[in-house]
Structure 1
Amino acid sequence: MLTVLVAILLGVVEGLTEFIPVSSTGHMILTAKLMGINDQSELLKSFEIAIQLGAILAIMIVYWNRLLTMFGLKQRSVSKGGVPQKQLNLLHVALGISPALLTAYFAKDFIKSLFSASTVLWALVAGAIFMIAAERIGSRRRPSAETLDDISYGQAFMIGIYQIISVLWPGFSRSGSTMAGGMLSRVSYRAAADFSFLMAIPIMVVVCGYELMSSYKLFTPGVLGFFALGFIVSFAVAYIVVVAFLKHIQNIKLWHFAVYRLVLAGMFWFFVMR
Protein backbone atom coordinates (compact mmCIF):
# COMPACT_ATOMS: atom_id res chain seq x y z
CA MET A 1 0.00 0.00 0.00
CA LEU A 2 2.76 2.47 0.91
CA THR A 3 4.76 3.05 -2.25
CA VAL A 4 7.25 5.82 -2.96
CA LEU A 5 4.64 7.65 -5.05
CA VAL A 6 2.04 7.44 -2.28
CA ALA A 7 4.57 8.66 0.30
CA ILE A 8 5.50 11.66 -1.86
CA LEU A 9 1.91 12.57 -2.80
CA LEU A 10 0.61 12.38 0.76
CA GLY A 11 3.65 14.29 2.00
CA VAL A 12 2.95 17.06 -0.51
CA VAL A 13 -0.76 17.18 0.40
CA GLU A 14 0.07 17.36 4.12
CA GLY A 15 2.67 20.07 3.65
CA LEU A 16 0.42 22.14 1.40
CA THR A 17 -2.66 22.03 3.60
CA GLU A 18 -1.57 21.70 7.23
CA PHE A 19 -1.32 25.40 8.06
CA ILE A 20 -3.68 27.08 5.61
CA PRO A 21 -7.44 27.07 6.34
CA VAL A 22 -8.50 24.27 4.00
CA SER A 23 -8.17 21.24 6.37
CA SER A 24 -5.21 18.91 5.98
CA THR A 25 -7.18 16.04 7.55
CA GLY A 26 -9.95 16.52 5.02
CA HIS A 27 -7.52 16.61 2.12
CA MET A 28 -5.76 13.46 3.33
CA ILE A 29 -9.08 11.60 3.55
CA LEU A 30 -10.18 12.79 0.10
CA THR A 31 -6.77 12.04 -1.42
CA ALA A 32 -6.80 8.50 -0.02
CA LYS A 33 -10.26 7.94 -1.52
CA LEU A 34 -9.18 9.26 -4.92
CA MET A 35 -6.14 6.95 -4.88
CA GLY A 36 -8.26 3.97 -3.86
CA ILE A 37 -6.37 3.55 -0.59
CA ASN A 38 -8.05 2.11 2.49
CA ASP A 39 -8.15 5.19 4.69
CA GLN A 40 -9.19 3.03 7.66
CA SER A 41 -5.89 1.15 7.58
CA GLU A 42 -3.96 1.52 10.84
CA LEU A 43 -0.70 1.70 8.88
CA LEU A 44 -1.96 4.58 6.73
CA LYS A 45 -3.28 6.43 9.77
CA SER A 46 0.10 6.11 11.47
CA PHE A 47 1.84 7.31 8.30
CA GLU A 48 -0.43 10.37 8.09
CA ILE A 49 0.31 11.18 11.73
CA ALA A 50 4.05 10.74 11.29
CA ILE A 51 4.28 13.13 8.36
CA GLN A 52 2.36 15.76 10.34
CA LEU A 53 5.45 15.97 12.54
CA GLY A 54 7.39 17.07 9.45
CA ALA A 55 5.00 20.00 9.05
CA ILE A 56 5.39 20.82 12.75
CA LEU A 57 9.17 20.91 12.41
CA ALA A 58 8.74 23.46 9.62
CA ILE A 59 6.60 25.75 11.78
CA MET A 60 9.07 25.44 14.67
CA ILE A 61 11.86 26.69 12.42
CA VAL A 62 9.77 29.61 11.16
CA TYR A 63 8.93 30.69 14.73
CA TRP A 64 12.21 29.63 16.31
CA ASN A 65 13.12 33.03 17.79
CA ARG A 66 9.61 33.47 19.16
CA LEU A 67 9.75 30.04 20.81
CA LEU A 68 13.12 30.79 22.41
CA THR A 69 11.72 34.00 23.88
CA MET A 70 8.59 32.30 25.21
CA PHE A 71 10.67 29.67 26.99
CA GLY A 72 12.99 32.30 28.45
CA LEU A 73 15.98 31.21 26.37
CA LYS A 74 16.20 34.56 24.60
CA GLN A 75 15.93 38.03 26.12
CA ARG A 76 12.63 39.83 25.67
CA SER A 77 12.46 43.15 23.86
CA VAL A 78 12.57 46.20 26.12
CA SER A 79 11.15 49.70 25.75
CA LYS A 80 13.23 52.88 25.79
CA GLY A 81 12.83 53.03 29.57
CA GLY A 82 14.30 49.57 29.99
CA VAL A 83 10.94 47.96 30.83
CA PRO A 84 10.25 44.60 29.13
CA GLN A 85 7.56 44.96 26.47
CA LYS A 86 4.32 43.03 26.69
CA GLN A 87 4.69 39.75 24.82
CA LEU A 88 2.73 36.60 24.15
CA ASN A 89 3.68 33.96 26.70
CA LEU A 90 3.13 30.28 27.43
CA LEU A 91 -0.08 30.96 29.36
CA HIS A 92 -1.65 32.43 26.22
CA VAL A 93 -0.81 29.25 24.34
CA ALA A 94 -2.02 27.03 27.19
CA LEU A 95 -5.37 28.85 27.26
CA GLY A 96 -5.62 28.49 23.48
CA ILE A 97 -4.94 24.77 23.30
CA SER A 98 -6.60 23.44 26.47
CA PRO A 99 -10.21 23.43 25.14
CA ALA A 100 -9.21 21.44 22.05
CA LEU A 101 -7.01 18.96 23.92
CA LEU A 102 -9.67 18.28 26.55
CA THR A 103 -12.30 17.82 23.86
CA ALA A 104 -10.07 15.48 21.85
CA TYR A 105 -9.31 13.39 24.94
CA PHE A 106 -12.90 12.89 26.07
CA ALA A 107 -14.46 12.59 22.62
CA LYS A 108 -11.72 10.69 20.74
CA ASP A 109 -13.90 7.66 19.93
CA PHE A 110 -16.74 9.84 18.65
CA ILE A 111 -14.33 11.92 16.56
CA LYS A 112 -12.79 8.84 14.92
CA SER A 113 -16.27 7.67 13.88
CA LEU A 114 -16.67 10.84 11.79
CA PHE A 115 -13.64 10.29 9.54
CA SER A 116 -15.28 9.84 6.14
CA ALA A 117 -15.32 11.60 2.78
CA SER A 118 -18.98 12.67 3.12
CA THR A 119 -18.36 14.20 6.56
CA VAL A 120 -15.37 16.09 5.18
CA LEU A 121 -17.37 17.54 2.26
CA TRP A 122 -20.02 18.95 4.59
CA ALA A 123 -17.28 20.32 6.87
CA LEU A 124 -15.58 22.04 3.93
CA VAL A 125 -18.84 23.83 3.11
CA ALA A 126 -19.69 24.74 6.71
CA GLY A 127 -16.16 25.94 7.38
CA ALA A 128 -16.21 28.10 4.25
CA ILE A 129 -19.44 29.80 5.34
CA PHE A 130 -18.04 30.37 8.83
CA MET A 131 -14.83 31.89 7.46
CA ILE A 132 -16.67 34.25 5.10
CA ALA A 133 -18.98 35.39 7.90
CA ALA A 134 -16.07 35.91 10.32
CA GLU A 135 -14.12 37.96 7.79
CA ARG A 136 -17.12 40.17 7.02
CA ILE A 137 -17.82 40.77 10.70
CA GLY A 138 -14.17 41.25 11.59
CA SER A 139 -13.60 43.76 8.80
CA ARG A 140 -16.26 46.05 10.25
CA ARG A 141 -14.56 46.34 13.64
CA ARG A 142 -11.15 47.70 14.54
CA PRO A 143 -9.03 44.91 16.09
CA SER A 144 -8.04 45.38 19.72
CA ALA A 145 -5.06 43.08 19.09
CA GLU A 146 -3.13 44.24 16.03
CA THR A 147 -0.07 42.08 16.69
CA LEU A 148 0.59 38.70 18.28
CA ASP A 149 1.84 40.36 21.46
CA ASP A 150 -1.40 42.35 21.84
CA ILE A 151 -3.54 39.23 22.26
CA SER A 152 -5.15 39.09 25.72
CA TYR A 153 -5.69 35.97 27.81
CA GLY A 154 -9.43 36.23 27.16
CA GLN A 155 -8.92 36.39 23.40
CA ALA A 156 -6.52 33.42 23.51
CA PHE A 157 -9.12 31.36 25.37
CA MET A 158 -11.93 32.37 22.98
CA ILE A 159 -9.82 31.33 20.00
CA GLY A 160 -9.34 28.01 21.78
CA ILE A 161 -13.11 27.64 22.13
CA TYR A 162 -13.59 28.20 18.40
CA GLN A 163 -10.92 25.58 17.76
CA ILE A 164 -13.18 22.93 19.32
CA ILE A 165 -15.32 22.98 16.16
CA SER A 166 -12.44 21.65 14.08
CA VAL A 167 -11.69 18.95 16.66
CA LEU A 168 -15.25 17.62 16.59
CA TRP A 169 -15.74 17.94 12.82
CA PRO A 170 -12.98 16.48 10.59
CA GLY A 171 -12.55 18.69 7.55
CA PHE A 172 -13.60 21.93 9.24
CA SER A 173 -9.93 23.05 9.54
CA ARG A 174 -8.07 23.87 12.74
CA SER A 175 -6.36 26.89 11.23
CA GLY A 176 -9.60 28.04 9.64
CA SER A 177 -11.53 27.91 12.91
CA THR A 178 -8.77 29.67 14.86
CA MET A 179 -8.13 32.41 12.29
CA ALA A 180 -11.84 33.08 11.88
CA GLY A 181 -12.36 32.82 15.64
CA GLY A 182 -9.55 35.28 16.17
CA MET A 183 -11.14 37.83 13.84
CA LEU A 184 -14.47 37.41 15.65
CA SER A 185 -12.58 38.04 18.91
CA ARG A 186 -11.17 41.32 17.53
CA VAL A 187 -7.72 39.96 16.73
CA SER A 188 -6.18 41.07 13.43
CA TYR A 189 -5.92 38.56 10.59
CA ARG A 190 -2.10 38.43 10.78
CA ALA A 191 -2.04 38.06 14.58
CA ALA A 192 -4.71 35.34 14.44
CA ALA A 193 -2.65 33.45 11.84
CA ASP A 194 0.53 33.72 13.92
CA PHE A 195 -1.28 32.51 17.03
CA SER A 196 -2.89 29.66 15.09
CA PHE A 197 0.52 28.47 13.88
CA LEU A 198 2.06 28.66 17.35
CA MET A 199 -0.83 26.72 18.90
CA ALA A 200 -0.39 24.01 16.30
CA ILE A 201 3.00 23.03 17.73
CA PRO A 202 1.97 21.72 21.18
CA ILE A 203 -1.39 20.40 19.97
CA MET A 204 0.09 18.32 17.17
CA VAL A 205 3.08 17.15 19.20
CA VAL A 206 0.74 15.86 21.92
CA VAL A 207 -1.80 14.30 19.56
CA CYS A 208 0.79 12.81 17.20
CA GLY A 209 2.92 11.58 20.08
CA TYR A 210 -0.06 9.85 21.70
CA GLU A 211 -1.20 8.21 18.47
CA LEU A 212 2.29 7.05 17.47
CA MET A 213 2.95 5.56 20.90
CA SER A 214 -0.30 3.65 20.59
CA SER A 215 0.74 2.15 17.24
CA TYR A 216 4.50 1.76 17.65
CA LYS A 217 4.34 -1.93 16.66
CA LEU A 218 3.54 -0.87 13.09
CA PHE A 219 6.94 0.80 12.69
CA THR A 220 8.78 -2.12 11.12
CA PRO A 221 12.05 -1.75 9.16
CA GLY A 222 10.12 -2.33 5.94
CA VAL A 223 8.06 0.87 6.26
CA LEU A 224 10.51 3.22 7.96
CA GLY A 225 11.91 4.41 4.62
CA PHE A 226 8.48 5.42 3.37
CA PHE A 227 7.70 7.16 6.68
CA ALA A 228 10.98 9.08 6.45
CA LEU A 229 10.30 10.10 2.84
CA GLY A 230 6.82 11.37 3.68
CA PHE A 231 8.21 13.25 6.69
CA ILE A 232 10.89 15.02 4.61
CA VAL A 233 8.50 15.95 1.80
CA SER A 234 5.92 17.25 4.30
CA PHE A 235 8.55 19.33 6.09
CA ALA A 236 9.92 20.91 2.89
CA VAL A 237 6.52 21.74 1.40
CA ALA A 238 5.08 23.05 4.69
CA TYR A 239 8.05 25.36 5.21
CA ILE A 240 7.65 26.88 1.74
CA VAL A 241 3.87 27.27 2.18
CA VAL A 242 4.09 28.94 5.62
CA VAL A 243 6.82 31.39 4.57
CA ALA A 244 4.92 32.29 1.39
CA PHE A 245 1.59 32.62 3.22
CA LEU A 246 2.99 34.93 5.90
CA LYS A 247 4.77 37.01 3.25
CA HIS A 248 1.62 37.53 1.19
CA ILE A 249 -0.99 37.31 3.97
CA GLN A 250 -2.42 40.76 3.27
CA ASN A 251 -3.28 39.67 -0.27
CA ILE A 252 -4.63 36.22 0.63
CA LYS A 253 -7.88 36.58 2.54
CA LEU A 254 -10.04 33.98 4.25
CA TRP A 255 -12.68 34.25 1.55
CA HIS A 256 -10.15 33.07 -1.05
CA PHE A 257 -9.73 29.83 0.88
CA ALA A 258 -13.48 29.64 1.44
CA VAL A 259 -14.16 29.75 -2.31
CA TYR A 260 -11.57 27.01 -2.87
CA ARG A 261 -13.26 24.86 -0.21
CA LEU A 262 -16.68 25.28 -1.81
CA VAL A 263 -15.35 24.47 -5.28
CA LEU A 264 -13.47 21.41 -4.00
CA ALA A 265 -16.50 20.09 -2.14
CA GLY A 266 -18.75 20.59 -5.15
CA MET A 267 -16.38 18.99 -7.64
CA PHE A 268 -15.57 16.03 -5.38
CA TRP A 269 -19.25 15.35 -4.76
CA PHE A 270 -20.17 15.65 -8.45
CA PHE A 271 -17.32 13.60 -9.92
CA VAL A 272 -16.55 11.10 -7.14
CA MET A 273 -19.32 10.76 -4.57
CA ARG A 274 -22.45 11.08 -6.71
Structure 2
Amino acid sequence: MNDIMNAVILGIIEGLTEFLPISSTGHMILAGHLLNFEGERASTFKIVVQLGAILAVLVLYWRRFLGFLNLTPGFHKRPGINVIHVFLALFPAVFVGFTLYRAIKDDLFGPTPVLYSLIIGGVLMIVAEKLNRRITAETMDDISYKQAFGIGLFQILALWPGFSRSGSTISGGMLLGTSQKAAAEFTFIVSVPIMFGASGYDLYKSREYLSMDDLGMFLAGVGASFVVAMIAIVTFLNLIKRLKLSWFAYYRFALAALFFFILY
Protein backbone atom coordinates (compact mmCIF):
# COMPACT_ATOMS: atom_id res chain seq x y z
CA MET A 1 0.00 0.00 0.00
CA ASN A 2 2.90 2.35 0.72
CA ASP A 3 4.22 1.78 -2.82
CA ILE A 4 0.80 2.57 -4.34
CA MET A 5 0.59 5.77 -2.29
CA ASN A 6 4.08 6.81 -3.41
CA ALA A 7 3.10 5.99 -7.01
CA VAL A 8 -0.02 8.17 -6.88
CA ILE A 9 1.85 11.07 -5.26
CA LEU A 10 4.67 10.92 -7.81
CA GLY A 11 2.17 10.43 -10.65
CA ILE A 12 0.38 13.61 -9.62
CA ILE A 13 3.70 15.47 -9.42
CA GLU A 14 4.73 14.16 -12.86
CA GLY A 15 1.42 15.13 -14.48
CA LEU A 16 1.37 18.54 -12.86
CA THR A 17 4.97 19.51 -13.61
CA GLU A 18 5.88 17.78 -16.90
CA PHE A 19 4.60 20.56 -19.13
CA LEU A 20 5.11 23.50 -16.79
CA PRO A 21 8.49 25.28 -16.98
CA ILE A 22 9.45 24.13 -13.49
CA SER A 23 11.06 20.72 -14.21
CA SER A 24 9.19 17.47 -13.66
CA THR A 25 12.42 15.46 -13.31
CA GLY A 26 13.71 17.84 -10.69
CA HIS A 27 10.47 17.61 -8.72
CA MET A 28 10.44 13.81 -9.02
CA ILE A 29 14.03 13.51 -7.76
CA LEU A 30 13.40 15.85 -4.83
CA ALA A 31 10.03 14.25 -3.97
CA GLY A 32 11.51 10.76 -4.21
CA HIS A 33 14.24 11.83 -1.80
CA LEU A 34 11.65 13.10 0.71
CA LEU A 35 9.51 9.96 0.34
CA ASN A 36 12.60 7.75 0.68
CA PHE A 37 11.62 6.22 -2.65
CA GLU A 38 15.01 5.95 -4.34
CA GLY A 39 17.23 3.36 -5.97
CA GLU A 40 16.98 1.49 -9.27
CA ARG A 41 13.37 0.37 -8.74
CA ALA A 42 12.28 3.94 -8.06
CA SER A 43 14.25 5.21 -11.06
CA THR A 44 12.47 2.69 -13.29
CA PHE A 45 9.10 3.84 -11.95
CA LYS A 46 9.97 7.48 -12.69
CA ILE A 47 10.56 6.46 -16.31
CA VAL A 48 7.31 4.50 -16.64
CA VAL A 49 5.16 7.22 -15.06
CA GLN A 50 6.06 9.62 -17.90
CA LEU A 51 3.92 7.50 -20.22
CA GLY A 52 0.82 9.00 -18.60
CA ALA A 53 1.92 12.51 -19.51
CA ILE A 54 2.76 11.43 -23.07
CA LEU A 55 -0.69 9.89 -23.46
CA ALA A 56 -2.30 13.14 -22.28
CA VAL A 57 -0.65 15.10 -25.11
CA LEU A 58 -1.64 12.45 -27.68
CA VAL A 59 -5.27 12.66 -26.56
CA LEU A 60 -5.38 16.48 -26.60
CA TYR A 61 -3.52 16.87 -29.92
CA TRP A 62 -4.61 13.71 -31.72
CA ARG A 63 -5.75 15.59 -34.83
CA ARG A 64 -2.36 17.25 -35.15
CA PHE A 65 -0.50 13.94 -34.88
CA LEU A 66 -2.79 12.24 -37.38
CA GLY A 67 -2.13 15.18 -39.69
CA PHE A 68 1.62 14.56 -39.46
CA LEU A 69 0.93 11.05 -40.77
CA ASN A 70 -1.28 12.45 -43.56
CA LEU A 71 -4.24 10.55 -42.15
CA THR A 72 -6.37 13.69 -42.03
CA PRO A 73 -7.64 14.56 -45.55
CA GLY A 74 -6.25 17.81 -46.87
CA PHE A 75 -3.91 18.41 -43.93
CA HIS A 76 -0.83 18.50 -46.18
CA LYS A 77 -2.31 21.51 -47.96
CA ARG A 78 -2.52 23.50 -44.74
CA PRO A 79 0.39 25.79 -43.89
CA GLY A 80 1.99 25.29 -40.52
CA ILE A 81 4.41 23.06 -38.68
CA ASN A 82 5.13 19.61 -40.07
CA VAL A 83 7.35 16.62 -39.35
CA ILE A 84 10.44 18.53 -40.52
CA HIS A 85 9.89 21.12 -37.78
CA VAL A 86 9.59 18.33 -35.23
CA PHE A 87 12.70 16.53 -36.51
CA LEU A 88 14.77 19.73 -36.42
CA ALA A 89 13.66 20.37 -32.84
CA LEU A 90 14.41 16.77 -31.81
CA PHE A 91 17.78 16.09 -33.39
CA PRO A 92 20.14 18.19 -31.19
CA ALA A 93 18.91 16.83 -27.84
CA VAL A 94 18.64 13.27 -29.14
CA PHE A 95 22.22 13.35 -30.46
CA VAL A 96 23.69 14.87 -27.30
CA GLY A 97 21.52 12.68 -25.05
CA PHE A 98 22.71 9.43 -26.62
CA THR A 99 26.31 10.63 -26.75
CA LEU A 100 26.47 11.71 -23.10
CA TYR A 101 23.86 9.30 -21.66
CA ARG A 102 26.08 7.68 -19.05
CA ALA A 103 27.68 10.95 -17.89
CA ILE A 104 24.26 12.59 -17.52
CA LYS A 105 22.89 9.68 -15.48
CA ASP A 106 25.96 9.41 -13.26
CA ASP A 107 26.70 13.09 -12.62
CA LEU A 108 23.48 15.08 -12.94
CA PHE A 109 20.73 12.92 -11.42
CA GLY A 110 20.81 14.00 -7.80
CA PRO A 111 19.34 16.66 -5.50
CA THR A 112 22.30 19.07 -5.62
CA PRO A 113 22.61 19.30 -9.45
CA VAL A 114 18.83 19.72 -9.64
CA LEU A 115 18.84 22.66 -7.23
CA TYR A 116 21.51 24.46 -9.24
CA SER A 117 19.70 23.84 -12.52
CA LEU A 118 16.44 25.16 -11.05
CA ILE A 119 18.19 28.46 -10.37
CA ILE A 120 20.08 28.70 -13.68
CA GLY A 121 16.97 27.72 -15.65
CA GLY A 122 14.98 30.39 -13.82
CA VAL A 123 17.53 33.04 -14.78
CA LEU A 124 17.26 31.96 -18.44
CA MET A 125 13.47 32.33 -18.30
CA ILE A 126 13.69 35.87 -16.93
CA VAL A 127 16.24 36.82 -19.61
CA ALA A 128 14.01 35.35 -22.33
CA GLU A 129 11.03 37.34 -21.11
CA LYS A 130 13.02 40.59 -21.02
CA LEU A 131 14.39 40.10 -24.55
CA ASN A 132 11.18 38.83 -26.18
CA ARG A 133 10.43 42.05 -28.04
CA ARG A 134 10.19 41.30 -31.77
CA ILE A 135 7.75 38.42 -32.26
CA THR A 136 7.77 36.81 -35.71
CA ALA A 137 5.80 33.68 -34.79
CA GLU A 138 2.58 34.55 -32.98
CA THR A 139 1.12 31.04 -33.25
CA MET A 140 2.72 27.59 -33.34
CA ASP A 141 2.06 27.31 -37.09
CA ASP A 142 4.11 30.47 -37.72
CA ILE A 143 7.31 28.85 -36.41
CA SER A 144 10.02 28.58 -39.08
CA TYR A 145 12.46 25.74 -39.65
CA LYS A 146 15.26 27.93 -38.33
CA GLN A 147 13.33 28.68 -35.14
CA ALA A 148 12.46 24.99 -34.72
CA PHE A 149 16.13 24.01 -34.92
CA GLY A 150 17.08 26.81 -32.52
CA ILE A 151 14.47 25.59 -30.05
CA GLY A 152 16.00 22.13 -30.43
CA LEU A 153 19.41 23.51 -29.45
CA PHE A 154 17.91 25.02 -26.30
CA GLN A 155 16.27 21.66 -25.56
CA ILE A 156 19.77 20.25 -24.96
CA LEU A 157 19.72 22.17 -21.67
CA ALA A 158 16.80 19.98 -20.55
CA LEU A 159 19.16 16.99 -20.40
CA TRP A 160 20.29 18.52 -17.11
CA PRO A 161 17.58 17.43 -14.65
CA GLY A 162 15.91 20.42 -13.07
CA PHE A 163 16.38 22.67 -16.09
CA SER A 164 12.96 21.71 -17.49
CA ARG A 165 12.22 20.71 -21.07
CA SER A 166 9.37 23.20 -21.38
CA GLY A 167 11.33 25.88 -19.55
CA SER A 168 14.33 25.62 -21.86
CA THR A 169 12.33 25.32 -25.10
CA ILE A 170 9.84 28.08 -24.26
CA SER A 171 12.73 30.36 -23.28
CA GLY A 172 14.60 29.44 -26.45
CA GLY A 173 11.55 30.06 -28.59
CA MET A 174 10.97 33.48 -27.04
CA LEU A 175 14.61 34.46 -27.56
CA LEU A 176 14.23 33.40 -31.20
CA GLY A 177 11.09 35.48 -31.78
CA THR A 178 8.13 33.23 -30.99
CA SER A 179 5.31 34.20 -28.67
CA GLN A 180 5.18 32.52 -25.28
CA LYS A 181 2.04 30.55 -26.24
CA ALA A 182 3.45 29.43 -29.61
CA ALA A 183 6.61 28.14 -27.95
CA ALA A 184 4.57 26.34 -25.28
CA GLU A 185 2.34 24.52 -27.78
CA PHE A 186 5.30 23.55 -29.95
CA THR A 187 6.97 22.19 -26.82
CA PHE A 188 3.96 19.93 -26.16
CA ILE A 189 4.12 18.51 -29.68
CA VAL A 190 7.89 17.92 -29.61
CA SER A 191 7.71 16.40 -26.13
CA VAL A 192 5.86 13.29 -27.33
CA PRO A 193 8.52 11.72 -29.58
CA ILE A 194 11.46 12.77 -27.39
CA MET A 195 9.80 11.56 -24.17
CA PHE A 196 8.64 8.35 -25.82
CA GLY A 197 12.13 7.68 -27.21
CA ALA A 198 13.93 8.61 -23.99
CA SER A 199 11.54 6.58 -21.84
CA GLY A 200 11.82 3.58 -24.16
CA TYR A 201 15.62 3.73 -24.12
CA ASP A 202 15.73 4.15 -20.34
CA LEU A 203 13.33 1.24 -19.87
CA TYR A 204 15.49 -0.96 -22.07
CA LYS A 205 18.53 -0.02 -19.99
CA SER A 206 16.58 -0.73 -16.78
CA ARG A 207 14.78 -3.86 -18.01
CA GLU A 208 16.30 -6.06 -15.27
CA TYR A 209 14.42 -3.98 -12.67
CA LEU A 210 11.00 -4.47 -14.31
CA SER A 211 8.76 -6.88 -12.43
CA MET A 212 5.14 -7.96 -12.73
CA ASP A 213 4.94 -7.49 -8.97
CA ASP A 214 5.18 -3.73 -9.58
CA LEU A 215 2.39 -3.63 -12.19
CA GLY A 216 -0.16 -2.17 -9.76
CA MET A 217 2.27 0.54 -8.70
CA PHE A 218 3.07 1.41 -12.33
CA LEU A 219 -0.60 1.56 -13.35
CA ALA A 220 -1.47 3.79 -10.37
CA GLY A 221 1.34 6.20 -11.24
CA VAL A 222 0.58 6.30 -14.98
CA GLY A 223 -3.15 6.80 -14.33
CA ALA A 224 -2.55 9.68 -11.93
CA SER A 225 -0.02 11.24 -14.29
CA PHE A 226 -2.42 11.03 -17.27
CA VAL A 227 -5.40 12.65 -15.52
CA VAL A 228 -3.39 15.44 -13.91
CA ALA A 229 -1.38 16.13 -17.10
CA MET A 230 -4.61 16.58 -19.10
CA ILE A 231 -5.78 19.19 -16.61
CA ALA A 232 -2.35 20.83 -16.35
CA ILE A 233 -1.90 21.30 -20.11
CA VAL A 234 -5.28 22.96 -20.62
CA THR A 235 -4.82 25.11 -17.52
CA PHE A 236 -1.28 26.13 -18.51
CA LEU A 237 -2.37 27.23 -22.00
CA ASN A 238 -5.01 29.44 -20.41
CA LEU A 239 -2.64 30.77 -17.76
CA ILE A 240 0.16 31.54 -20.19
CA LYS A 241 -1.99 34.19 -21.87
CA ARG A 242 -1.96 36.17 -18.63
CA LEU A 243 1.00 34.89 -16.62
CA LYS A 244 4.55 36.01 -17.32
CA LEU A 245 7.31 33.41 -17.60
CA SER A 246 9.16 35.13 -14.78
CA TRP A 247 6.52 33.99 -12.26
CA PHE A 248 7.55 30.39 -12.91
CA ALA A 249 11.18 31.45 -12.48
CA TYR A 250 10.42 32.92 -9.05
CA TYR A 251 8.73 29.66 -8.08
CA ARG A 252 11.88 27.79 -9.10
CA PHE A 253 14.04 30.08 -6.95
CA ALA A 254 11.73 29.58 -3.97
CA LEU A 255 11.71 25.79 -4.44
CA ALA A 256 15.50 25.67 -4.69
CA ALA A 257 15.86 27.78 -1.53
CA LEU A 258 13.38 25.56 0.36
CA PHE A 259 15.17 22.34 -0.55
CA PHE A 260 18.60 23.81 0.18
CA PHE A 261 17.25 24.51 3.68
CA ILE A 262 15.68 21.03 4.02
CA LEU A 263 18.57 19.01 2.62
CA TYR A 264 21.58 21.00 3.84
TM band (smaller chain) = over 0.9
CA distance in structure 1 between the aligned counterparts of 2:75 and 2:86, rounded to whole angstroms: 19
CA distance in structure 1 between the aligned counterparts of 2:209 and 2:62, rounded to whole angstroms: 32
Shift of 1:8: 0.7
CA distance in structure 1 between the aligned counterparts of 2:232 and 2:243, rounded to whole angstroms: 12
Structure 1 counterpart of 2:117, from 123, 128, 132: 123
Alignment-derived partner of residue 81 in structure 1: none
| 2:67–2:75 CA contact under 8 A, matched in 1 | no
Aligned residues: 263
Structure 2 counterpart of 1:150, from 137, 142, 145: 142
CA distance in structure 2 between the aligned counterparts of 1:229 and 1:90, rounded to whole angstroms: 33
Is 1:172 aligned to residue 158 of structure 2?
no
Matches within 5 A, 1:1-274: 3-38=3-38, 41-76=39-74, 84-113=77-106, 114-138=108-132, 140-141=133-134, 143-167=135-159, 169-270=160-261, 272-274=262-264
Shift of 1:248: 2.7
Shift of 1:149: 1.1
CA distance in structure 2 between the aligned counterparts of 1:166 and 1:4, rounded to whole angstroms: 29
Gaps (5+ residues) in structure 2?
none
Q: Which amino acid in 1 is paired with 2:61?
A: Y
TM-score normalised per structure 2:
0.96
CA distance in structure 2 between the aligned counterparts of 1:256 and 1:202, rounded to whole angstroms: 28
CA distance in structure 1 between the aligned counterparts of 2:116 and 2:199, rounded to whole angstroms: 25
Shift of 1:102: 0.4
| 1:52–1:231 CA contact under 8 A, matched in 2 | yes
Shift of 1:77: 5.7
Name the Cα RMSD after superposition: 1.4
Shift of 1:185: 0.5
The 3-state SS of whatever aligns with 2:49 is: helix
Compared with structure 1, are the counterparts of its residues 221 and 132 closer, same or farther at alpha carbon in structure 2 (3 Å cutoff)?
same
Compared with structure 1, are the counterparts of its residues 77 and 214 closer, same or farther at alpha carbon in structure 2 (3 Å cutoff)?
closer
Q: Which amino acid in 1 is paired with 2:80?
A: Q
Q: Which amino acid in 2 is paired with 1:164?
A: I
| 1:13–1:28 CA contact under 8 A, matched in 2 | yes
Deviations 1:187-242 (A, max 9, x none): 11111001111110000111111111232333322111111110100001011100
Q: Which amino acid in 1 is paired with 2:49?
A: I
Deviations 1:228-270 (A, max 9, x none): 1101000010111001111232112211110100001011111
Deviations 1:146-202 (A, max 9, x none): 1111111100000000111111x2111111000000000101111100111111000
The 3-state SS of whatever aligns with 2:73 is: coil
Point out the more displaced range, 69-78 or 115-124: 69-78
Shift of 1:2: 6.2
Deviations 1:80-108 (A, max 9, x none): xxxx3312100000000100000100000
Larger radius of gyration: 1
Gaps (5+ residues) in structure 1?
79-83
CA distance in structure 2 between the aligned counterparts of 1:190 and 1:197, rounded to whole angstroms: 11
Shift of 1:43: 1.0
CA distance in structure 2 between the aligned counterparts of 1:137 and 1:42, rounded to whole angstroms: 42
The 3-state SS of whatever aligns with 1:3 is: helix
Shift of 1:13: 0.7
